[in-house]
Chain A
Amino acid sequence: MPTPSSNPPPDPPPRTHSTSCPDDARSTSSWRPDQDGLEMNIDSQESSSSPEPVSAPLPTRVQDATDSRSTTESPRPDSRSGTEPSSSSDPIDTLSQPHKPTDADDDVLARGDRDTSSGQRRSGNYDIVTSVGTDSDKLEYGIMPSRLQDDAFAPSMGYDFSNVRVYDVQVEIKYVDLRESFLCGFLKIQGLTEDNPTLTTYFEGEIIGTKYGFITKHESWGATEKIDLNHWSKFSAFRQYNKQVRKGPVLIPNLAQRENIFMRWKEHFLVPDHRVRTINGASFEGFYYICFNQKEGSVSGIYFHSKSEKFQQLELKHVEDRGCFGAMEFR
């Protein structure tokens, strides 16, 4: 676990995506966070949600429209690609942690240094997000190498399967609707195929909370309960739910107050032209299991698609915006 508060966090905490709507806690669960002492008022959720009715039930706030800058100025990709292969090369069964506490701390310190000593980070920090797609051998990341069904395509891509490939990924969250446990945005991946140096997809996220549970309910996504649990278990933050999930559906009320927020991100179509359904050498038929750490502003993800490499990882860092985000609102 990242250290909670003994160290002052040098980096301003990430924006949470909860500004638009009150958490709609329809039901309460008896679940208690053992670890992160954040919840002072779990029991009062009902009472805290009931005064809300006055506020609009309408999700209209567009939150963080973000773009991202490229991650090239950040030293992190290197350091991470150093650490990650080890975790990703772990067999499934061992508990590999996509991000280790030590990594986080290092990061924090590193950033802290930069923050105080130089001004470089603040330039253009308007946005959150992103860096580094990572990992795993053959395939590209995020946007999956095409139609893996066709093995024929694989060789032609000319990747060196013995190496870990790392791709630059930028994610812009375009709209968040906590009430509907929904978010969506663009996912941009660089250097995946030669034809398309940059590919952007539109994705939608299901936030695990009151509306969606840990178990994936879309048959077409190809995940079974076992696959779900296998993937979620890779996140250390999931441990507290592990047992409960095996017993039945878990509801997580009061999401905005959780340190970690779990999601599933599913890419739906290409940006700008959604009518382009296939890309030579890439596909986006799978989906991501996501764990977003609100305090760190980091997003970890694991890609799943039945026909692609297992446990490819996604690691995103928040691009500092210093509270500068527009007032965007659907009418």
Chain B
Amino acid sequence: MALDPQSVLAKLSANTSEQITALRFLKNEVVGHVQKKEHWIQHGVVRPIVNIIASDALELDGKGTRPPFLTLGTFTDEDNAKLQALQLLASFANAGPAFLAPLNAAGALPAILSTPCLQNEHPRIVLAALRVVRDIANAAVFTPSSSPISPTSLADTLFAGTPLESLHQILSQRTSSTDSEIQISIVAHLIKALCREERHQAALVSSGILDALATRLASFAVSKGQVLPRAEIISRLEGLEDYIPEPATSASSLDSILGAIASIISDSPFRACKLFYSPSILAVFPVVDVDPSKSSKSPSGSMELPGLRPTRHMDFEPMDLLLPCMAPQPRGQPTHAAFPPLGTSRENLNLNGRSTSKFQSATASGTPSDDASASNGDADGEESESPLIPWLIALVRSGSGNEILMAASILTSLFKAGFSYKTREASIGLLVVPVLLSMLNEVEAKTKGIDYNNCNRDTTSTLNIIEEAPAILARLITDSESLQKAAFDSGAVRTVCKLLKDSYDVPPPLAKSWSWSTHNRTPDPTEEVPPECRLGEEGQQRYLVHRIKVRESTLRAIGALATFKDEYRKAIVDQEAIHFIVESLNQDPSKPISVTVAACYAVRMLSRSVNILRTALVDHTVSTPLFQLLRHHDVEVQVAATASICNLVMDFSPMRESLVEAGILRILCEHAHSHNASLRLNALWALKNLVHSASVDLKKRCVEELESGWLVRLICDDTEDDALFSARARGDRQPTHDILDGMDEDVDMGFADDQNRAWLPASFYKAPTTRAQPDVRIMRLAETRLTTLREAELNPTRKARHDDLAIQEQGLGFIRNLIGGAHSSGSAADSANDTTEMIDYLFSTLGQDRLFEILASKLRVKVLHPFSRRGSAGSEARVLPPQTKIIESVIYILVHIAASIPRHRQLVVSQTELLKQLAKLFNSQDREVRVALCHLINNLTWQDNASDGPGCSQRALELKNLGFLSKLEALKEGDEELDVRERAKSALWQMKPAAY
């Protein structure tokens, strides 16, 4: 039966049976025919089709719900029409990104996502609706930026309100059928594909979707027979027996469930914890200290929560039996550095700490998980690890393709959050990293003949592995030397560099399926054509999108490999990857900024090698593109580029001079005024490195450009803190108030940032989390901990404080370098003169008393404003000791001043209050502080010439009166550091003649 467009349109608006006829006809017409799809779109069939779905929705909404018993099980004609309409829409969506525009214009998405579709009592309709959404989501990946539907906008729609509720219902279905399994798989796929942003991740957690997914995950453990022994008995005792799920059927796909969970968790310890504190996971993988020798009837202990900082290995950890036997690790002995809790992966790249991996040292206190562990440590100290972790490792070993990848991704999140035993680092190096790399190599070999224009499920999954595996590897190894070694030993450098290079190959020829539209596309003669009858812009080519992703991913991996070791950096250079890394810095409007940011990161890691800085990087004039990126319109790129610049302006960098000539100074000073804390930090850091052993002229220009007043504000916090305090006191009703008790540091700019970061109100989390948790002891415990973790993670103050401390440290380092010798040129005498000149210059621009006062204030123990914490008893003041790095910087500034002329030494000695503060620091834990103190005394008791003799004795006496002599004696006798002892010795030698 052939129908002309008019009659089709007429039928679509007629009664149900006519509609079905027309829909059937259309389906037969268009399926598999892109041209026909375009043709029918131009005839305007989309809107009537959408109306078929939507009218039903309206009807429902208008008349209330139909009594369920009438329709239960019966598939009416209306249902049939709806099903056909949905299938037809899926077929259009399937045809490519250009078709999203008409679908969007016709309002297809709201109709499909409405309750009557997604919560329809007929699984087939739900499934058909989900398929449309899936096809739209798949097409959205390739949409040009002008498209009305992007993955983000789609996520905004999907992960909120009713659609989110529907997704939850679908995931939580208890009965399983083929349809429901496919539904679940599609929902999981959607989450994995679309969930990128924090707000979506948070919404998916608070809506209970993560728990639902966790239950699905547990069902796989059940079906594999990997439930821990006696889990049922234990769960029954704990009241969790309902949470042991039915075994998953073979139809369901584990990889999409894992992928969805991985996307939701990403780098959040809170969400990672939420996963393994999820009731089904607790039920299937209980932690109980069982004595295997006893009868299996009586579990010897009650269920415990897995620890957030597990240390207690139990005698019986059956899950480890799934893993290959490993040489016994000395138990309870940390093999390596504690792993810093990371913020978002973004932070990995743009960051505030000194490097990705220096988070810990940069924060003396207050990273989220520190607090979390503190709060859970109070119970009874040691705790055990969740058996989920060895289970995931086993899954990486036994799974295939995307399962491996996604299991590794979740494992990475758990590992990096510190939720695994320390000994797991070694296991992961041996058992996981090589698997990832061999899979990558294997898959990479298969990509040769791929037809990018005609991807089936297999090739999509192949491409997906290549896109994601390097990034997951990067995340896993970033902070771990031993994992970097494991990756290096498995040939990661070669593999990853090859992928990067290949991504610059000439693209394969376009297939015809893409070329039709460019010719056929009507030049749009009639402006009046309604938007739902016009195709949108053609999307990007799959191949191009693929290689952009590969670039970003491999650049991250290259950066991660180059974090610590020169050997690895040199291996990367030997692979001739530098050219491509530098190439990736070049701006190109079509290139997403994430590639640029990742390239900046890779350059930054490589430039940590003096050797490479002086050879490969300068040969490729990496400074030129980086310099341009400093002015990039996106602040994130600016942040990343500025971070790399820090290393390029080192005094031994051959690119320093050309950067200065290009005007780096002005840009950095501008960035140091930015509202973005990370940019301020990086700019100040770069300035600090730039003025080191620079000419007096450059130094002065730098201070002028930066403005001395601003410099003072950057390093000095008290006025702003007070201002903030009073502001807070006034606005007492602020919802975030109760979590700001730790507020103490410079909130100057930080406060502005607080506001920005506080986009997620605490209430957002609070309302829905209480979803139907049973009143079970173990769940109440879990809830308490989760609350703590969540607060720690959400609290913007912590990050602000951390940023501010880091900025102050750089600011003080900057001052220190200003008055360090400008000794690169000229003789020694010149350099001393320069130092003296700079000190006087600083005294006159900053104010002598003010400078000393600032320095003294940095050493004081800070009394925090007594914010009363809601729910806590009193409002007693808390004190915060100054941070070691800051102390160090302060002392070295004094060391430099004291190394100048006697007048300056005299000035330092006259700062009695300051010296009293210093006297308290002789027993500092930090050796660098003690060394610096010895330097200071050495310099203060230095005698320039005979005329300084009386002055020198006077100074020595002064110091002795303040108790320095005895403190030095103690250092000389008892310090464990050779360096400290020796320096104390010489300081004493200088002091004593005067003292006796």
Q: What is the interface of chain A, defined by CB distance below 8 A to chain B?
A: 5, 8-13, 15-16, 18-19, 38, 40-41, 48, 50, 52-60, 62, 65, 67, 69, 116, 118-119, 122-127, 174-175, 180, 182, 184, 186, 202, 204, 256-259, 268-269, 271-272, 274-275, 294-295, 322-331
Contacts and interface: CB of A to CB of B under 8 A. Distances in A.
Given A65-B652, A67-B823, A53 B988 contact: no
A124 B832 contact: yes
Interface in B515-566: 563-566
Given A9-B989, A328-B650, A58 B978 contact: no
A238 to B, nearest CB: 19
Nearest to A296: B982
B336 A12 contact: no
B899 interface: yes
A325 B816 CA distance: 9
B942 A122 contact: yes
Contact of A324 (B688, B899, B985): B899
Contacts of A182: 566
B39 to A, nearest CB: 57
Nearest to B565: A180
B816 A327 contact: yes
Contact of B985 (A13, A180, A272): A13
Given A126-B820, A126-B828, A331 B611 contact: no
B361 interface: yes
A59 B355 CA distance: 10
Nearest to B360: A54
Contact of B693 (A53, A57, A204, A326): A326
Nearest to B646: A331
A57 B357 contact: yes
* Interface of chain A: mostly helix, strand, loop or mixed: loop
A4 to B, nearest CB: 10
* Interface-centre pick from B565, B614, B643, B829 (highest chain A CB count, 10 A): B614
Given A54-B338, A54-B361, 8 more contacts: A8-B988, A9-B985, A18-B979, A56-B357, A56-B362, A67-B823, A322-B899, A327-B692
A331 B354 contact: yes
A97 B927 CA distance: 34
A257 B611 contact: no
B942 A57 contact: no
Contacts of A40: 976
A59 B609 CA distance: 10
Nearest to A202: B614
Nearest to A275: B619
Contact of A53 (B334, B355, B611): B334
B338 A58 contact: no
A109 to B, nearest CB: 14
Q: Is the interface of B mostly helix, strand, loop or mixed?
A: helix
Nearest to A12: B986
B914 interface: no
A11 B978 contact: no
A55 B610 contact: no
Contacts, number: 212
B858 interface: no
30 contacts: A8-B985, A9-B986, A13-B979, A13-B985, A19-B931, A38-B978, A53-B334, A54-B337, A54-B361, A55-B337, A56-B359, A57-B564, A58-B563, A58-B564, A59-B564, A65-B652, A65-B693, A118-B945, A123-B832, A180-B564, A184-B611, A323-B938, A327-B692, A327-B813, A327-B816, A328-B688, A328-B692, A329-B685, A329-B813, A330-B355
B102 to A, nearest CB: 49
Contacts of A202: 610-611, 614
Interface in B339-383: 354-355, 357-362
A184 B570 CA distance: 15
A321 to B, nearest CB: 8
Contacts of B835: 324
Nearest to A40: B976
Contact of A52 (B337, B354, B931): B337
Contacts of A275: 619
B830 interface: yes
B489 interface: no
Contacts of A268: 611
Contacts of A9: 982, 985-986, 989
A5 B972 CA distance: 11
Interface centre among A11, A50, A58, A294 (most CB of B within 10 A): A58
Contact of B978 (A119, A259, A331): A259
A322 B892 CA distance: 11
Given A124-B832, A268-B611, A328 B689 contact: yes
Nearest to A16: B979
A60 B358 contact: yes
B817 A326 contact: yes
Contact of A69 (B820, B828, B932, B938): B828
B729 to A, nearest CB: 35
B101 interface: no
Contacts of A258: 978
Contact of A326 (B820, B978, B986): B820
A123 B828 contact: yes
A221 to B, nearest CB: 16
Contact of A123 (B359, B607, B829, B948): B829
A325 B566 CA distance: 24
Given A8-B989, A326-B820, A256 B978 contact: yes
B978 A16 contact: yes
B379 to A, nearest CB: 22
B939 A322 contact: yes
B828 A322 contact: no
Contact of A330 (B647, B693, B813): B647
B746 interface: no
Nearest to A126: B821
A259 B644 CA distance: 37
Nearest to B682: A331
Given A53-B338, A124-B828, A331 B685 contact: yes
Given A60-B355, A322-B935, A15 B979 contact: yes
A8 B986 contact: yes
B842 to A, nearest CB: 15
A330 B362 CA distance: 14
A123 B835 CA distance: 11
B79 interface: no
B943 A116 contact: yes
7 closest Cβ pairs, A-B complex: A124-B828, A323-B935, A13-B982, A331-B646, A126-B821, A53-B337, A327-B813
Contact of A56 (B333, B360, B892): B360
B479 interface: yes
Nearest to A24: B481
Contacts of A127: 821, 823
Given A60-B608, A326-B816, A331-B604, A53 B895 contact: no
B896 interface: yes
A127 B826 CA distance: 13
Contacts of B354: 56, 58, 60, 329, 331
B614 A269 contact: yes
A175 to B, nearest CB: 5
A212 to B, nearest CB: 12
Residue among B355, B481, B835 with max Cβ neighbours from chain A (10 Å): B355
Interface string B948-991: 10000000000000000000000000001111001101111100
B479 A57 contact: yes
A123 B945 CA distance: 12
A186 to B, nearest CB: 7
Given A60-B355, A126-B831, A331 B982 contact: no
B971 to A, nearest CB: 13
A13 to B, nearest CB: 3
Contacts of A58: 354-355, 357-358, 563-564
Nearest to B339: A53
Given A9-B989, A65-B693, A257-B977, A331 B931 contact: no
A259 B982 CA distance: 10
Contacts of B816: 326-327
